[in-house]
Amino acid sequence: MALTLKSGFSFDYDNLFGEGKVTAADIDECKDALAKAHAAMKVMRDTGFIKAHLSKDGAPEKVYFSKLPYITEENGKLNLNSPASIKRLHAFTEKIRNNVDAVVSLGIGGSFLGNKVLFDVFCGEFWNTWTPEQRKGLPKVYFSGQNIDPRRTGDIINHLKAMAANKQTHGGGKFKVMLMCMSKSGGTLDTMSNFMVILDALKKVDTIEVECVAVTDPNMEKKTLLKQIAVDNGWECFAVPDGVGGRFTVFCEVGLSTAAVIGMDIEKFLEGARDMDKACQNDDIWQNPAMLNAALKVIAYKKYGRNIEVMMPYGDYLKSLSEWYIQLLAESLGKQFDKEGKEVCEGRTPLVAVGTTDMHSQTQQHQEGTLDKVVQFIKVEKWANDLVIPNVFPNVKKLADISGVTMGDALEVARQSNADALKSNKRFNACFTLPEVNEYHLGEIMYLLAMSVAYEGELLNVDAFNQPGVEAYKRIMGPKLQELKAKSHA
């Protein structure tokens, strides 16, 4: 059983629904809750209103992520995607083409994870080793700010210095580095500490020219720290809009500024998200991918104890998609209290896996361990550059037997074998299929997952758009850092 869209995107839930799994009766028992959840999604799209949702400051806050796939003049008033903002992103691409040697994207959480998905999927591991011509004049890209790690930060600085020295040796002039600092609050410790360390170090190198870009809250009346610094220094700015939580920002200028850096087709990415949003407006659960996905996962969790979701794409460069999903699911649904303030300690736990890699590490637990998991596969139907396994050792039967097939076909045989084995031992699993890896289909699956957690929040009666648990450690951390600073100056 599968729900397949006109685009070819498919959600195969055969190993999650039916006898011995989530049943039609289970779905029917939830029909009233599903109808309410679906109605809540319509209100959210129309007005931005989500029942009981408050900002981290305790004030009512609209939710606007569902508007992001739509490029309209009206969105410009909310600092969302408009014709003017998309035009500016294209201009940004041309500004840096053949003019910037390296971009360091600094961010954490939603300001890192979604951007890393875009880079991994469309650039791959070896982008920074390509020539400028191979990159079509676009820069090398590095990520920082996602941890306060002195060794890695030092390594990035030394690497940039070495590239600058090499360019100078070959008469290429100054090495141009753009630091893209991303923080909605403008004061995120992890990001800002890395930003200041790297900026300070590079400004002391004669062979390096540094340019900064700020991605932060655009409010000019009450500027964030980063916004004020950017204004004072005349830096270019992009917006982290109100009403769009970090885990959803891949569809706004946070993610799209990185898309612009690597020359990704922004309109196609948003088109995929937009078409998925339209599919998710269907009143029929069996034709609505997000509602169906959410219903099956919530029922598997609440009735059958499957409180862990293993997100397992088959493809190395899709691992970061699974890592992005970790934040999406954990922050959206891991809540101590429901919308009425009752303590519920709710939410499923997400785990990262990659096929076939983790078939050789995690699958033993998936196959025979505790019955508490749903394994969610992602497969690619058609690989852009598939490779045939050659018959290099014809006298070695075991190796000769696998020759003549493509690596993509072998990968799918491995995935299907894993799915069949799990099914044979009452292990719930399902599969999303991307017809191919491109901007459109990536937009589809990322938006589907975002809308799915919105539905789950309603079904579980928790606020899927706040993150009070994240604020708890921050309140403790601030004073501790002040104590540390005082001791260092004593």
C-beta separation of 377 from 16 below 8 A: no
**Residue 237 in tokens:** 């700015």
Our answer to whether residue 223 is catalytic in this structure is no
CA distances to 80, 270, 334 from 331, rounded to whole Å, are 22, 23, 6
Of 331, 346, 439, 456, catalytic: 331
Q: How many CB atoms lie within 10 A of CB 295?
A: 26
State how far the alpha carbon of 274 is from the alpha carbons of 67, 70, 169, 447, in Å.
Answer: 9, 6, 49, 8
Cβ contacts of 182 within 8 Å, gap of 6 or more: 105, 106, 107, 111, 112, 115, 145, 191, 215, 216, 240, 254
User: How far is it, in rounded angstroms, from Cα 312 to Cα 225?
Assistant: 39
**CA distance linking residue 356 with residue 415, whole number of Å:** 7
Residue 455 zone, left/alpha/beta (φ > 0; ψ -120 to 50; rest):
alpha
331 assigned to active site: yes
CA 387/CA 404 separation, integer angstroms: 10
Contacts of 362 (CB under 8 A, 6+ apart): 310, 351, 353
Q: How far is CA 449 from the centre of its chain?
A: 10
Match 């600058």 to its residue by tokens: 164
- Cα dist from 108 to 195, 307, 435, whole Å: 12, 26, 30
373 contacts: CB under 8 Å, gap ≥ 6: 306, 308, 309, 310, 351, 366, 427, 428
Q: With 0-12 CB in 10 A as exposed, 13-18 as middle and 19+ as buried, what is 31?
A: exposed
What's the one-letter identity of residue 367? Q
Catalytic residue among 222, 360, 480, 489: 360
Catalytic residue flag (residue 489): no
Active-site residue (options: 31, 42, 136, 474): 474
Q: Cβ-count burial of 60 within 10 angstroms (0-12 exposed, 13-18 middle, 19+ buried)?
A: exposed
- A 10 A CB-CB count for 392 gives 9
- Angle made by CA atoms 15, 17, 19, in degrees to the nearest 5: 95
Looking at the annotation, which residues are catalytic? 331, 360, 474
